[in-house]
Structure 1
Amino acid sequence: MTRTYLKKATPKASNAPSATTDVPTVVRRVIEDIRKEGDAAVRKYSEKFDKWSPESFKLSKADIERIIASVPQQTIDDIKEVQANVRRFAEAQRESIKDFEIETLPGVFLGQRNNPINTVGAYVPGGRYPLLASAHMTIVTAKVAGVPNIIGCTPPIRGEIPSATVAALHLAGADEIFVLGGVQAVAAMAVGTEMVRKVDFIAGPGNAFVAEAKRQLFGEIGIDLFAGPTEVLIVADETADPFMVATDLLSQAEHGPDSPAVLITTSEEIGKRTIEECENQLKTLCTADIARVSWGTFGEVVLASNIDEAFTIADEYAYEHVQVLTKNPRDSLEKMTHYGALFLGPMTCVSYGDKCIGTNHVLPTRGASRYTGGLWVGKYLRTVTYQEVRNAEQSGKLGRLCGRSARAELFEGHARSGDLRAHEYLGDKFDWITKN
């Protein structure tokens, strides 16, 4: 396969704190301390990492009302509109998941039910950016799934309560809201303390420490995804606008200094002009201090010989976001399978998915799209089955089949359960059955 790099990633040692810190060890120590000391350890680490130690981390109803009253009405209206979009799509997803019962043999009934998780923790990051949209994606979707208890945690930002984020958490449907961040928030929700009830599942993005906490706690609780840096890949042909391509690449590069942005194009001219446009736009982009690092270090421009090859290369990357700026963008629906989400045509951009269009923005990274999709209603549901045999003859026949199948696997106890039904309902005789 012919492949030419007009720009190639040049990864180097990161200056991020996680690059010089033993993240797993730090996270393990915090989790162990919170298991042992509960709220005292939560407060200790909140003071240490966030310089935040309020009288109560949990917001009261009065606190929430006062905080929301301080948020501009336009922001409140926008939050409600975005959440309505997310809710509309999530409801369509929920309607696609069906409970059913079928009679597979005379008198043999098999069924499926989709039961919501009982208690969910939603982590909404602060840090560099207050990610209001994460409240929409994690909490609205959980509520549509029928989750009855949702705890929302978000960190303070520069020592202040993030008012708009609190509004988003409340309007999304969080039942309890804590201004609490980092590993201490994730650990408190996962193990449970006097202050924070234990959850069954945690969703939401975060930094390297939050991601590692979720990884270490997975199994004890469920999680949405093992999250890595945001990724964007654009497939473009000669019809694409280099200015738009550059704009959309940089829109994702600003997420963090390790967020890769990749262009795969069939046009050398489009590729070269996009590189020039990125450099030009970085001169005026207010987040260029971040975007310049990620684009310079992890950005790539790949020249493909034709559009089918471009789609094949894109599937090899298996990126989180894939934007298709080609003459026939819907061709990608048939040609590609490895992506978190597709964004088709120039009227659609990845930022719509991140912020407002309604699909979920919690998506697989680091090649995980090869085996999983992103956060959706189904992640908050447990698909369980049930069985009931009402026909005696069929139970006896199944008993005979069970006995033979189990003995082929040397499971005598299993076989005897089948034998007993064959004896009870078909009159079969077995030496081991001695009851009167």
Structure 2
Amino acid sequence: MTVVTAKVAGVERVAATTPPSQGGIPPVSVAALHLAGAEEIHVLGGVQAVAALALGTETIEPVDIIAGPGNAYVAEAKRQLFGEVGIDLFAGPTEVLIIADDSADPWVVAVDLLSQAEHGPESPAILITTSERVGKAAIDWIDRLLVDLPTAPVASLAWRDHGAVHLVDTLDQAYEVADTYASEHVQVLTERPREALDRLRHYGALFLGENTCVSFGDKVIGTNHVLPTRGAARYTGGLWVGKYLRTVTYQEIRDADSSAALGELCGRMSRLENFEGHARSGDIRAARFDTAGIPWLPAPGTS
């Protein structure tokens, strides 16, 4: 999801890293990176991968931007190196927030919350519901599911320390509470899930209806899943082609009269702001035909 996005944007050199698996080369990850179009693949992970890409090593040339998710240490490494290199966004632990009304299946709610809680012990799993019945039943199902979930040692900690259930009176209130979280993933399990498209403002990605779960976004659905966390959805979206593109401008005034008119304006504005050097740069354009009235300018034909 990071390599393909970069290649579509026209990035000429994509250097990808993937951590070793059980001390060896991870064939699935390497194959995926190769098929996606990476020019370089390094079996390297964690903060050392971020540092190698940002600063360079004897065998790895430094890059201009680092993109992709990681654990808390990777996120901190990217934050500290921002400025030395560009980054896509600052990402923390995976988050899931579910909005549910009385039509939601509590078992589905519980399964979907735990599917993201297993990412790490600091992953928030939040339920906002208008139904007390759904809320209580979902909590009960979570306790039952954790009994034999293979990733329970991680998911149970996430649920214990970062799980929450909010009971609200209306869906309007549910949307308001959800926007205060600005969660990475917002799953909408209501009778009219598409209503959320018009009501929600702050989120990384929406998953509408019971047919659409966050795990699909993680693995198979196709949209980019490098998304903002820790409230960053208030000011940024997820990774997209534009993250690899720069907006540049150029200026050219080809008409001398227009340059002179702008020079006069530039001189006046700059002196109001006490920037005499700027003013003089405008003055010499304004004075192309007449130096009179500009005391600091030399007379025509002199230097």
The TM-score normalised by the length of structure 1 is: 0.67
Residue 294 in 1 paired to residue 158 in 2?
A: yes
Q: Partner residue of 2:241?
A: 377
Q: Which has the higher contact order (CA 8 A, sep 6+)?
A: 1
* Cα distance in structure 2, aligned partners of 1:393 and 1:354: 59
How far apart are residue 428 of structure 1 and its match? Answer: 5.5
Q: CA deviation at 1:165?
A: 0.3
1:412 and 2:284 correspond: no
Q: For 2:48 and 2:152, locate their aligned partners in 1 and report how far apart those are by CA, in whole Å.
A: 31
Question: What does the per-residue CA deviation read over 1:251-298, in whole Å, with 9 as the maximum and x for residues that have no partner?
Answer: 101101111100000010011111112122223322222212211221
User: Is 1:399 matched with 2:245?
Assistant: no
2:83 to 201, 219, 222: 219
Q: Does 1:144 align with 2:4?
A: no
In structure 1, the gaps of 5 or more residues are 1-136
1:363 and 2:224 correspond = no
Q: How much does 1:238 deviate?
A: 1.1
Identity among equivalent pairs (%): 66
- Displacement of 1:211: 1.8
Query: 2:65, 2:85 within 8 Å by CA — same for their partners in 1?
Result: yes
Which of 6, 12, 22 aligns to 1:158? It is 22
1:163, distance to aligned residue in structure 2 (A)? 0.6
Give the Cα–Cα distance (whole angstroms) in 1 for the partners of residues 193 and 287 of structure 2: 63
Q: Which residue of structure 2 aligns with residue 72 of structure 1?
A: none
SS at match of 2:109: helix
Counterpart among 137, 155, 160 of residue 273 in structure 1: 137
- 1 CA distance for matches of 2:130 and 2:290? 73
**Would you say the 8 A contact 2:228–2:236 is kept in 1?**
yes
Number of aligned positions between the proteins? 299
State the distance in 1 between where 2:297 and 2:196 align: 62
Identify the residue that residue 208 of structure 2 maps to in structure 1: 344
C-alpha separation between the residues in 1 aligned to 2:225 and 2:168?
28
1:192 corresponds, among 25, 32, 56, to: 56
Higher share in helix = 1
Structure having the larger proportion of residues in strand: 1
1:164 deviates by 0.2
Could you say which residue in structure 1 is the equivalent of 2:187? 323
Q: Once the two structures are superposed, what CA deviation does each residue of 1:10-44 show, in whole Å capped at 9, x if it has no partner? A: xxxxxxxxxxxxxxxxxxxxxxxxxxxxxxxxxxx
Give the SS at the match of 2:260: helix
For residues 362-383 of structure 1, give each alpha carbon's deviation from its aligned partner in whole angstroms, at most 9, with x where no partner exists.
Answer: 1111111112111111111111
Helix, strand or coil: the match of 1:386? coil
Contact 2:227 2:237 in 1 (8 A): yes
What are structure 2's unaligned runs of at least 5 residues?
A: none
**C-alpha separation between the residues in 1 aligned to 2:104 and 2:253?**
61
| TM-superposed deviation, 1:177 | 0.8
User: What residue number does 2:217 align with?
Assistant: 353
Query: RMSD of aligned C-alpha atoms?
Result: 1.3
Q: Distance in 2 between matches of 1:427 and 1:347?
A: 75
TM-score by length of 2: 0.95
